[in-house]
Protein backbone atom coordinates (compact mmCIF):
# COMPACT_ATOMS: atom_id res chain seq x y z
CA UNK A 1 0.00 0.00 0.00
CA UNK A 2 1.62 3.28 -1.04
CA UNK A 3 -1.20 5.74 -0.40
CA UNK A 4 -0.75 8.67 1.94
CA UNK A 5 -4.30 9.80 2.37
CA UNK A 6 -7.34 8.85 4.37
CA UNK A 7 -5.21 7.96 7.38
CA UNK A 8 -2.70 5.66 5.70
CA UNK A 9 1.08 6.04 5.94
CA UNK A 10 2.78 9.25 4.85
CA UNK A 11 5.24 8.74 2.00
CA UNK A 12 8.59 10.40 2.71
CA UNK A 13 10.33 12.48 0.03
CA UNK A 14 13.22 10.33 -1.27
CA UNK A 15 16.80 11.63 -1.60
CA UNK A 16 19.56 10.13 -3.74
CA UNK A 17 23.11 11.40 -4.11
CA UNK A 18 24.62 11.63 -7.59
CA UNK A 19 28.12 11.72 -6.08
CA UNK A 20 27.74 8.35 -4.39
CA UNK A 21 26.78 6.78 -7.71
CA UNK A 22 29.19 7.18 -10.63
CA UNK A 23 27.14 4.95 -12.87
CA UNK A 24 24.41 7.05 -14.53
CA UNK A 25 22.23 4.03 -15.33
CA UNK A 26 22.26 2.92 -11.70
CA UNK A 27 21.53 6.47 -10.51
CA UNK A 28 18.65 6.80 -12.97
CA UNK A 29 17.22 3.46 -11.78
CA UNK A 30 17.26 4.75 -8.19
CA UNK A 31 15.57 8.01 -9.21
CA UNK A 32 12.91 6.17 -11.24
CA UNK A 33 12.10 3.88 -8.36
CA UNK A 34 11.91 6.87 -5.96
CA UNK A 35 9.63 8.88 -8.26
CA UNK A 36 7.39 5.86 -8.84
CA UNK A 37 6.97 5.56 -5.08
CA UNK A 38 6.69 9.23 -4.08
CA UNK A 39 6.02 11.23 -7.28
CA UNK A 40 9.18 13.26 -6.62
CA UNK A 41 12.82 12.81 -5.70
CA UNK A 42 15.72 15.05 -4.68
CA UNK A 43 19.00 14.34 -6.42
CA UNK A 44 21.86 15.81 -4.45
CA UNK A 45 24.87 17.04 -6.48
CA UNK A 46 23.19 16.49 -9.82
CA UNK A 47 25.35 19.38 -11.10
CA UNK A 48 28.52 21.00 -9.83
CA UNK A 49 28.70 24.62 -8.73
CA UNK A 50 30.81 25.59 -11.76
CA UNK A 51 27.72 24.75 -13.82
CA UNK A 52 25.23 26.59 -11.61
CA UNK A 53 27.46 29.66 -11.30
CA UNK A 54 27.83 29.83 -15.08
CA UNK A 55 24.04 29.64 -15.49
CA UNK A 56 23.59 32.50 -13.00
CA UNK A 57 26.12 34.53 -14.96
CA UNK A 58 24.19 33.82 -18.20
CA UNK A 59 20.86 34.75 -16.61
CA UNK A 60 21.98 37.93 -14.89
CA UNK A 61 21.90 40.22 -17.98
CA UNK A 62 18.28 39.17 -18.63
CA UNK A 63 16.94 39.85 -15.15
CA UNK A 64 16.19 43.53 -15.73
CA UNK A 65 13.97 42.76 -18.75
CA UNK A 66 12.35 39.63 -17.34
CA UNK A 67 8.74 40.02 -16.33
CA UNK A 68 6.44 38.92 -13.61
CA UNK A 69 3.43 36.98 -14.64
CA UNK A 70 -0.07 36.72 -13.37
CA UNK A 71 -0.14 34.06 -10.69
CA UNK A 72 3.26 35.14 -9.39
CA UNK A 73 3.97 37.92 -6.92
CA UNK A 74 5.54 41.17 -8.09
CA UNK A 75 8.64 40.27 -6.11
CA UNK A 76 9.19 37.24 -8.34
CA UNK A 77 10.69 37.15 -11.80
CA UNK A 78 10.64 34.44 -14.41
CA UNK A 79 13.39 34.39 -17.00
CA UNK A 80 11.77 32.44 -19.82
CA UNK A 81 13.18 30.78 -22.96
CA UNK A 82 16.19 29.83 -20.90
CA UNK A 83 17.40 27.32 -23.47
CA UNK A 84 18.67 30.06 -25.77
CA UNK A 85 19.88 32.32 -22.96
CA UNK A 86 22.34 29.89 -21.42
CA UNK A 87 24.34 27.30 -23.34
CA UNK A 88 25.38 25.75 -20.05
CA UNK A 89 21.74 25.31 -19.06
CA UNK A 90 20.84 23.95 -22.50
CA UNK A 91 23.72 21.56 -22.92
CA UNK A 92 24.70 20.52 -19.40
CA UNK A 93 21.46 20.79 -17.38
CA UNK A 94 18.85 19.92 -20.00
CA UNK A 95 21.35 17.45 -21.50
CA UNK A 96 21.97 15.47 -18.30
CA UNK A 97 21.79 11.75 -19.24
CA UNK A 98 20.04 10.79 -15.99
CA UNK A 99 17.29 13.34 -16.65
CA UNK A 100 16.81 11.79 -20.10
CA UNK A 101 16.70 8.20 -18.82
CA UNK A 102 14.11 9.29 -16.24
CA UNK A 103 11.85 11.19 -18.66
CA UNK A 104 12.17 8.42 -21.26
CA UNK A 105 10.95 5.96 -18.65
CA UNK A 106 7.95 7.98 -17.50
CA UNK A 107 6.95 9.79 -20.71
CA UNK A 108 7.74 7.61 -23.74
CA UNK A 109 4.68 6.90 -25.86
CA UNK A 110 4.62 3.33 -27.00
CA UNK A 111 2.26 1.77 -29.51
CA UNK A 112 2.76 -1.98 -29.80
CA UNK A 113 2.31 -3.64 -33.23
CA UNK A 114 -1.12 -2.59 -34.47
CA UNK A 115 -2.82 -2.58 -37.82
CA UNK A 116 -3.09 1.13 -38.43
CA UNK A 117 -2.99 0.66 -42.21
CA UNK A 118 -4.29 -2.48 -44.00
CA UNK A 119 -1.86 -5.39 -43.49
CA UNK A 120 0.82 -3.17 -42.01
CA UNK A 121 1.37 -3.73 -38.31
CA UNK A 122 3.04 -0.62 -36.94
CA UNK A 123 4.97 -0.02 -33.72
CA UNK A 124 6.04 3.40 -32.51
CA UNK A 125 8.18 4.53 -29.63
CA UNK A 126 8.15 8.31 -29.24
CA UNK A 127 10.44 9.92 -26.74
CA UNK A 128 9.33 13.00 -24.81
CA UNK A 129 9.93 16.58 -25.90
CA UNK A 130 11.00 19.75 -24.12
CA UNK A 131 7.93 21.58 -22.84
CA UNK A 132 9.35 24.73 -21.22
CA UNK A 133 12.57 26.08 -19.79
CA UNK A 134 12.80 29.00 -17.39
CA UNK A 135 14.34 30.28 -14.18
CA UNK A 136 12.12 31.20 -11.24
CA UNK A 137 13.64 33.96 -9.13
CA UNK A 138 11.73 34.62 -5.92
CA UNK A 139 12.94 37.96 -4.66
CA UNK A 140 13.26 39.19 -1.06
CA UNK A 141 9.92 38.67 0.71
CA UNK A 142 8.39 37.30 -2.49
CA UNK A 143 5.11 35.44 -2.12
CA UNK A 144 4.80 31.72 -2.74
CA UNK A 145 2.79 30.04 -5.48
CA UNK A 146 -0.47 28.24 -4.89
CA UNK A 147 -0.20 24.49 -4.57
CA UNK A 148 -0.66 23.05 -8.07
CA UNK A 149 -0.07 20.21 -10.48
CA UNK A 150 1.86 21.16 -13.60
CA UNK A 151 -0.45 19.12 -15.84
CA UNK A 152 -3.36 21.54 -15.30
CA UNK A 153 -2.04 23.32 -18.41
CA UNK A 154 -2.72 20.11 -20.33
CA UNK A 155 -6.20 19.74 -18.77
CA UNK A 156 -5.14 16.34 -17.48
CA UNK A 157 -7.40 14.53 -15.04
CA UNK A 158 -6.54 11.36 -13.12
CA UNK A 159 -8.32 9.15 -10.64
CA UNK A 160 -6.90 7.68 -7.48
CA UNK A 161 -4.69 4.63 -7.70
CA UNK A 162 -3.08 2.43 -5.05
CA UNK A 163 0.02 1.73 -7.11
CA UNK A 164 1.62 3.93 -9.76
CA UNK A 165 0.91 2.76 -13.29
CA UNK A 166 3.25 3.83 -16.06
CA UNK A 167 1.47 5.96 -18.64
CA UNK A 168 -0.40 8.01 -16.04
CA UNK A 169 1.63 11.19 -16.39
CA UNK A 170 1.96 13.65 -19.24
CA UNK A 171 4.99 15.51 -17.93
CA UNK A 172 7.93 15.66 -15.57
CA UNK A 173 9.92 18.65 -14.30
CA UNK A 174 13.49 18.98 -13.12
CA UNK A 175 13.98 21.97 -10.80
CA UNK A 176 17.63 22.76 -10.14
CA UNK A 177 18.82 25.11 -7.41
CA UNK A 178 21.20 27.84 -8.58
CA UNK A 179 21.19 29.44 -5.13
CA UNK A 180 20.30 27.65 -1.89
CA UNK A 181 16.59 26.87 -1.95
CA UNK A 182 14.97 26.04 1.36
CA UNK A 183 11.90 26.73 3.45
CA UNK A 184 12.98 30.19 4.64
CA UNK A 185 13.86 31.55 1.17
CA UNK A 186 11.04 30.10 -0.92
CA UNK A 187 12.17 26.52 -1.49
CA UNK A 188 9.79 24.32 -3.45
CA UNK A 189 7.06 22.73 -1.32
CA UNK A 190 6.12 19.17 -2.34
CA UNK A 191 3.45 16.70 -1.31
CA UNK A 192 5.04 13.26 -1.75
CA UNK A 193 2.53 10.58 -2.76
CA UNK A 194 0.04 13.04 -4.25
CA UNK A 195 0.79 11.57 -7.72
CA UNK A 196 -1.57 8.76 -6.72
CA UNK A 197 -4.49 10.98 -5.74
CA UNK A 198 -7.81 11.64 -7.39
CA UNK A 199 -7.85 15.07 -9.03
CA UNK A 200 -11.37 15.58 -7.76
CA UNK A 201 -10.13 15.68 -4.15
CA UNK A 202 -10.07 19.02 -2.37
CA UNK A 203 -6.53 20.40 -2.41
CA UNK A 204 -4.81 20.75 0.95
CA UNK A 205 -3.86 24.22 2.19
CA UNK A 206 -0.29 25.38 2.76
CA UNK A 207 -0.37 24.35 6.44
CA UNK A 208 -0.91 20.68 5.60
CA UNK A 209 1.63 18.62 7.62
CA UNK A 210 2.26 16.32 4.64
CA UNK A 211 3.91 19.17 2.72
CA UNK A 212 7.70 19.10 2.78
CA UNK A 213 10.31 21.63 1.63
CA UNK A 214 13.63 19.97 0.86
CA UNK A 215 16.77 22.01 1.53
CA UNK A 216 18.51 22.24 -1.84
CA UNK A 217 22.08 23.44 -2.28
CA UNK A 218 23.23 24.85 -5.60
CA UNK A 219 23.45 21.92 -8.02
CA UNK A 220 20.81 19.79 -6.26
CA UNK A 221 17.74 18.96 -8.35
CA UNK A 222 14.17 18.11 -7.48
CA UNK A 223 12.49 15.90 -10.08
CA UNK A 224 8.73 15.61 -9.97
CA UNK A 225 5.89 14.23 -12.02
CA UNK A 226 3.32 16.63 -13.42
CA UNK A 227 0.70 14.95 -11.21
CA UNK A 228 2.57 15.72 -7.97
CA UNK A 229 1.29 18.65 -5.91
CA UNK A 230 3.92 21.33 -5.29
CA UNK A 231 4.53 25.09 -5.21
CA UNK A 232 7.33 27.62 -5.07
CA UNK A 233 7.47 28.77 -1.43
CA UNK A 234 7.48 32.28 0.03
CA UNK A 235 10.81 33.98 0.55
CA UNK A 236 11.30 35.44 4.01
CA UNK A 237 14.92 36.49 3.43
CA UNK A 238 16.70 39.42 1.78
CA UNK A 239 18.28 37.22 -0.92
CA UNK A 240 16.74 36.10 -4.20
CA UNK A 241 16.12 32.37 -4.59
CA UNK A 242 16.89 31.09 -8.11
CA UNK A 243 15.79 27.72 -9.44
CA UNK A 244 15.87 26.60 -13.08
CA UNK A 245 12.92 24.60 -14.35
CA UNK A 246 13.11 22.20 -17.24
CA UNK A 247 9.82 20.58 -18.19
CA UNK A 248 9.43 17.53 -20.43
CA UNK A 249 6.15 16.36 -21.91
CA UNK A 250 4.85 13.48 -23.98
CA UNK A 251 5.71 13.69 -27.68
CA UNK A 252 2.16 13.66 -29.00
CA UNK A 253 1.36 17.03 -27.38
CA UNK A 254 2.11 18.94 -30.55
CA UNK A 255 0.32 20.02 -33.70
CA UNK A 256 0.40 17.69 -36.74
CA UNK A 257 1.77 20.36 -39.06
CA UNK A 258 4.13 22.77 -37.37
CA UNK A 259 2.20 26.02 -37.83
CA UNK A 260 5.04 28.22 -36.57
CA UNK A 261 7.62 27.06 -39.13
CA UNK A 262 5.46 25.95 -42.05
CA UNK A 263 4.34 29.45 -43.08
CA UNK A 264 5.95 32.67 -44.11
CA UNK A 265 5.58 34.95 -41.09
CA UNK A 266 4.94 38.05 -43.23
CA UNK A 267 1.96 36.22 -44.74
CA UNK A 268 0.76 35.11 -41.30
CA UNK A 269 0.96 38.69 -40.00
CA UNK A 270 -1.62 39.67 -42.63
CA UNK A 271 -4.11 36.99 -41.57
CA UNK A 272 -7.14 38.03 -39.52
CA UNK A 273 -6.80 37.64 -35.75
CA UNK A 274 -9.22 34.72 -35.62
CA UNK A 275 -7.01 32.76 -38.04
CA UNK A 276 -3.80 33.66 -36.22
CA UNK A 277 -5.37 32.44 -32.99
CA UNK A 278 -6.71 29.28 -34.66
CA UNK A 279 -3.20 28.50 -35.94
CA UNK A 280 -1.97 28.44 -32.37
CA UNK A 281 -0.96 32.03 -31.62
CA UNK A 282 -3.16 31.92 -28.56
CA UNK A 283 -3.20 30.74 -24.98
CA UNK A 284 -5.10 27.61 -24.13
CA UNK A 285 -6.83 27.94 -20.78
CA UNK A 286 -5.61 28.00 -18.17
CA UNK A 287 -2.08 28.92 -19.25
CA UNK A 288 -0.56 26.93 -22.11
CA UNK A 289 1.20 28.19 -25.21
CA UNK A 290 2.69 31.38 -23.77
CA UNK A 291 5.73 33.30 -24.94
CA UNK A 292 7.48 34.98 -22.05
CA UNK A 293 4.42 34.07 -19.97
CA UNK A 294 2.24 36.28 -22.20
CA UNK A 295 -0.20 35.88 -25.07
CA UNK A 296 1.86 34.60 -28.07
CA UNK A 297 -0.21 36.77 -30.41
CA UNK A 298 1.75 39.76 -29.07
CA UNK A 299 4.82 38.41 -30.91
CA UNK A 300 3.27 38.54 -34.37
CA UNK A 301 0.42 41.04 -34.05
CA UNK A 302 0.91 43.81 -31.53
CA UNK A 303 -2.21 45.54 -32.92
CA UNK A 304 -4.56 42.63 -32.24
CA UNK A 305 -6.33 44.73 -29.62
CA UNK A 306 -7.17 42.12 -27.03
CA UNK A 307 -4.61 39.93 -25.33
CA UNK A 308 -4.82 37.25 -22.65
CA UNK A 309 -1.60 37.38 -20.67
CA UNK A 310 -1.92 35.13 -17.70
CA UNK A 311 -3.89 32.49 -15.87
CA UNK A 312 -7.26 32.44 -17.53
CA UNK A 313 -9.75 30.50 -15.47
CA UNK A 314 -13.39 30.91 -14.74
O1 LIG B 1 9.67 27.92 -8.20
C2 LIG B 1 9.41 26.79 -7.81
O3 LIG B 1 9.94 26.29 -6.83
C4 LIG B 1 8.38 25.95 -8.51
C5 LIG B 1 7.96 26.51 -9.82
C6 LIG B 1 6.76 25.80 -10.36
O7 LIG B 1 6.22 24.94 -9.75
C8 LIG B 1 6.20 26.15 -11.67
O9 LIG B 1 6.59 27.17 -12.26
O10 LIG B 1 5.34 25.40 -12.16
FE1 LIG C 1 4.83 23.86 -10.95
Per the structure, the complete domain to which residue 163 belongs is given by 15-249
pLDDT value of residue 66: 85
Q: What confidence tens digit (pLDDT) does each residue in 243-255 have?
A: 999 999 999 999 9
Answer yes or no: is 146 within a domain.
yes
End-to-end CA, the chain: 37
pLDDT exceeds 90 at position 136: yes
Do 125 and 158 lie in a common domain? yes
Do 313 and 213 lie in a common domain? no
Q: What confidence tens digit (pLDDT) does each residue in 2-36 have?
A: 445 555 578 999 999 999 988 999 999 999 999 99
Do 101 and 75 lie in a common domain? yes
Counting residues of the chain whose pLDDT is more than 70, the rounded percentage is: 95
pLDDT exceeds 50 at position 235: yes
The reported pTM is: 0.95
> Among 202, 227, 249, which residue terminates a domain?
249
Answer yes or no: is 213 within a domain.
yes
* Cβ–ligand 1 contact at 142 (below 6 Å): no
Q: What confidence tens digit (pLDDT) does each residue in 211-227 have?
A: 999 999 999 999 999 99
Do 60 and 189 lie in a common domain? yes
* Residue of 68, 231, 240 best suited for mutating to test ligand 1, as the one with most atoms within 8 Å of CB: 231
Number of domains in the chain: 2
Report the separation in Å between the CA atom of 179 and the middle of ligand 1, taken as the mean of its atom positions: 15
Measuring from atom 2 of ligand 1, which residue has the nearest CA?
A: 232
Q: What is the per-residue burial (b if ≥16 Cβ within 10 Å, else e) of 203-220? A: eeeeeeeebbbbebebbb
Q: How far is CA 103 from CA 82, 94, 133, 147, 251, in A?
A: 19, 11, 15, 23, 11
Which ligand is located closest to the Cα atom of residue 145?
1
Answer yes or no: is 6 within a domain.
no
Amino acid sequence: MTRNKKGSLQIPLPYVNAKSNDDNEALAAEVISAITRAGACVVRNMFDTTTTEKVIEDIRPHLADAGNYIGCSITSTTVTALLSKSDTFALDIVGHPVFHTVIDHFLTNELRPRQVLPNQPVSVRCKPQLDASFCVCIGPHGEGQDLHRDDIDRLHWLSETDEYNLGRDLGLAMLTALTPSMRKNGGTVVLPGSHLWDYGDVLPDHTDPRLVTPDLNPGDSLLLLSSTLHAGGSNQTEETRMVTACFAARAHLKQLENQYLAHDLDKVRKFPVWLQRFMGYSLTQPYCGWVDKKDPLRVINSNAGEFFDGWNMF
